[in-house]
A and B are shown apart, each in its own frame.
Chain A
Amino acid sequence: MQRVSDWVTRSSRSFFIWPAVAILLFFAIFPLLVSLYLSFSRIKFARGGVQVNFVGLANYRKLFVGSEQSHFLGVFGQPSILGWIVFAAVMGFMLVGLGIYITRGSPTIMGFILRTLLAVLIGVLAWLVIITLNGEGRPGTLVVTLVYVYVGIAFQYLLGLMLALLTAQQLRGRRFFRVVFLIPMMITPVGVAYMFRMLADMSKGPFAPLWQAVGLGEFSWVNTPWGARWAIMIGDIWQWTPFMFIVLLAAIEGQAQEPVEAALVDGANRWQIFRNLTFPQIMPVTTALILIRMIEAYKIVDLPNVMTNGGPGTATESMTLQAFFSWRTLDIGGSAAIAYILLVLVTILSIAFVSLLRQRTTEVI
């Protein structure tokens, strides 16, 4: 009897964690392995079942250099002078970062190689963005996804920070604003998409008189690529600013008040207090928030699918949406390849973000 109860005690610890581990392993590892295999194969729906043929890198080749290149990467144009300047700035930034890594601290060979590879990846992505957004170029789903993610995060963070700083003051009705500002985050993205379609209707929507007054009554955002992309980004910003707002507000309210009061007594202005006291304190939350939004934003699919169905043409398609469309046309290998590229991209960028910033925060401390 004693031995049985001992066994129960020892193994009860395993019972606590095994179900969760098993489910996650099953839903992460097994599908990833199968997806990887599918991305290297072509699937034919023959009579009496499916036929899976191994085709090597053909699916990836199709996306990067083959028939799907203009859809996935975009149509390349010539970079303008501004494009060259931006590219030079990005590369300069990367080189300075590498230089700092080598001269300060204790560089390792592995760390240097990984950082160089990351710099090359970011350089390639920047180059891709520049040549497809310029002149005769046309961005593909990869570039459109990057635009959604980073433009969206920039607006959401700045708006959320501004609203949080304002709401953190002693004001009447703070709780009302706090609750109202939270609402969009909880609403189904599909519902958000339809709501913004209604609002953006140029002839029947609420702003129709306004559009007509400024002579845009005949303009149709649905038919212009950037109009449609901005409509989607506005919906995304509307939905996710609350997330930034609510967490930043909690962080600002949780900061130590004594230094702020002391600074006020010493006559510091509000910008100085923000720059030197508040911002350093909310820096860890900032990086965590950006990381979380980055991870989630790369999955964007509901808004473009419902608002524009990816159109006009493929102008508003995100990578997930392209993968879904490929799957629907039974190009399962191609779909898995896009999904895998997305996975690798998100994983590399978020791990790089975490590890580079962990260094930064320990430096601050």
Chain B
Amino acid sequence: MNKFFRRPSAFRPSPFQAMLTYIVLVFWAIVVLFPLYWLTITAFKLPIDVSQGPVYIPFVDFQPSLNAWHYIFVEVGSDTARPYFNTVIVGITSSVIALVLGAAASYALVRFEYRPTLGVIGLFLGGIVLAVVMVMLGVPWLIAVVASLAVFLLLAQTIGKRFKRSLGNDDIAFWMISQRILPPVAVVIPVYILFQRLHLLDTRIALIVTYVAVNLPIVVWLLRDYFQSIPIELEECASIDGASTFRIFWNIVLPLSVPGLVATFLFVLVFAWNEYILALFLSSSRAQTMPLTVAAQNATRGPQWWNMSVLILIMIIPVIGMAIALERYIARGLLIGAVKG
């Protein structure tokens, strides 16, 4: 991987070309950094500094003040802490679950062969429909799920094997990854109704479950190729020595893929951290996450840019830190996903 990045470029620009290059690069760096700079100094401004027109340089143009920070952390401290805590919990929990399930699935898609017959798939869909209908009719959801699962297993063992047409691993992987195409708004209304029926609306559980589903395709997409690059000989040796599939996965494959797992984890964490539209539908007050809190600032108190800047800053500082720390992994992970996916 080091070789991948340290390969010397063939282009050694002449001094004139280098100067032109630097002009463009510095210009874009300013384009990137200036909004962040403006955000940061606005967080230290007093209302009067903002309302009198633009001031640019702290200590020269204006005297920085912790007024807004005091307001956000002390005066409305609990209103800030709750969504922040929610965001952390929902983000980390959903990313961990998505990573565990997604890693298992993508490893399985790389190493094992699956031939799900169309009959079993159809029966499973039928089971889901049955469960939904039962819940809609007012059957307690636990009973509905267990009953339809039982019906599905019974039929799958008996009828399901009669249908011989089947799909392969690539079809499953493609289907999983293609779930990213679904616009959230196309699925969120039924999910909303479902959580309402389960009395889970506006809870962290609802957000966690939804984010796991949204992030699973990304995990499968990024990790599938990572597992493909692990030499199979190690696993064959372990298998001959009598290690079970779970042990091979846990003790050999996972330790070997730590860099890929870390990068994928942070990637889905950022998605969950920044997610807006699903949270907008599924949470209102108790489970509100930071993007909602930030977005709601304008509506509740008018554009108080200084307070808003503090909120945005405390929200984006962790992800910017991750971006800086993980720049290499992100580039590599995305490139591989993009070429193979």
Using CB atoms and an 8 Å cutoff, list the residues of chain A in contact with chain B.
8-9, 12-13, 15-17, 19-21, 23-35, 38, 159, 162-163, 166-171, 177-191, 193-199, 203-209, 238, 242-243, 246-247, 249-251, 253-254, 257, 260-261, 264, 270, 284-285, 288-289, 292, 295-296, 298-299, 301-302, 305-306, 320, 323-324, 327, 332, 335-336, 338-340, 342-343, 346-347, 350
- Interchain CB contact under 8 A, B54 and A25: no
B277 within 8 A of A: yes
Chain A residue at smallest Cβ distance from B293 = A190
B62-70, B72-80, B254-262, B313-321: which lies at the A interface?
B313-321
Question: How many angstroms from the CA of A182 to the CA of B36 in the assembled complex?
Answer: 13
Taking the closest CB of chain A, its distance from the CB of B86, in whole angstroms, is 14
A residues near B316, Cβ cutoff 8 Å: 186-188, 191
Tell me if A28 and B10 are in contact (CB < 8 A). Answer: no
**A27 close to B181 (CB less than 8 A):** no
Given contacts A253-B5, A320-B183, contact A183 B320 (CB under 8 A): yes
Q: List 27 A-B contacts (CB under 8 A).
A: A9-B244, A9-B245, A20-B220, A24-B176, A31-B189, A32-B186, A34-B132, A35-B190, A159-B28, A169-B17, A181-B28, A182-B330, A183-B320, A183-B324, A184-B32, A187-B274, A187-B320, A190-B274, A191-B294, A204-B51, A246-B330, A285-B338, A288-B338, A299-B183, A299-B185, A301-B277, A324-B281
Q: Are A209 and B10 in contact (CB under 8 A)?
A: no
Q: How far is the CB of B200 from chain A (nearest CB, A)?
A: 14
Is A195 touching B312 in the complex (CB atoms < 8 A)? yes
Spot the interface stretch: B121-129, B157-165, B230-238. B121-129
- Interchain CB contact under 8 A, A30 and B190: yes
Which residues on the B side are within 8 Å of A190 (C-beta)? 274, 276, 291, 294-295
A38-B25 CB under 8 A given contacts A188-B273, A195-B39: no
Q: Interface residues of B, CB < 8 Å — how many? A: 108
- Does A195 lie within 8 Å of B38, measured CB to CB? yes
Please give, as numbers and ranges, the residues of chain B lying within 8 Å of A301 by CB-CB distance. Answer: 185, 276-277
Q: Are A247 and B105 in contact (CB under 8 A)?
A: no
In the complex, which residues 10-64 of chain B have their Cβ closer than 8 Å to any Cβ of chain A?
A: 10-13, 17-18, 21-22, 24-25, 28-29, 31-36, 38-39, 42, 50-51, 53-54, 56
Closest to A327 in B: B189
| A16 in contact with B125 (CB, 8 Å) | no
In the bound complex, what is the Cα–Cα distance between A167 and B13 (angstroms)?
Answer: 11
In angstroms, Cα B322 to Cα A251, docked, is 22
* B332 contacts partner chain A, Cβ-Cβ < 8 Å: yes
A298 touches B183 (CB 8 A): yes
Most buried by A among B104, B181, B187, B280: B181
Is B101 in contact with chain A by the CB < 8 A criterion? yes
Contacts of B128 in A (CB 8 A): 25-26, 29-30
CB distance from B315 to the nearest CB of A (A): 6
Q: How far is the CA of A303 from the CA of B338 in the complex (A)?
A: 25
Q: In this assembly, does B2 line the interface, its C-beta being within 8 Å of a C-beta of chain A?
A: no
User: Quick check: A250 and B187 within 8 Å, CB to CB?
Assistant: no
Q: How far is the CA of A346 from the CA of B178 in the complex (A)?
A: 11
User: Distance in Å from the Cβ of B307 to the closest Cβ of chain A?
Assistant: 11
The answer on a CB contact under 8 Å between B246 and A31 is: no
User: In the complex, what's the smallest C-beta–C-beta distance from A259 to chain B, in angstroms?
Assistant: 9
Which 9 A-B residue pairings sit nearest by Cβ, starting from the closest? Answer: A16-B108, A34-B190, A20-B105, A27-B213, A31-B187, A31-B190, A339-B186, A288-B338, A250-B335
Q: Is the CB of A196 within 8 A of B132?
A: no
- In the bound complex, what is the Cα–Cα distance between A257 and B33 (angstroms)? 33
Please tell me if B172 contacts chain A, counting CB pairs below 8 Å.
yes
Q: Contacting B50 at CB < 8 Å: which of A31, A204, A247, A339?
A: A204
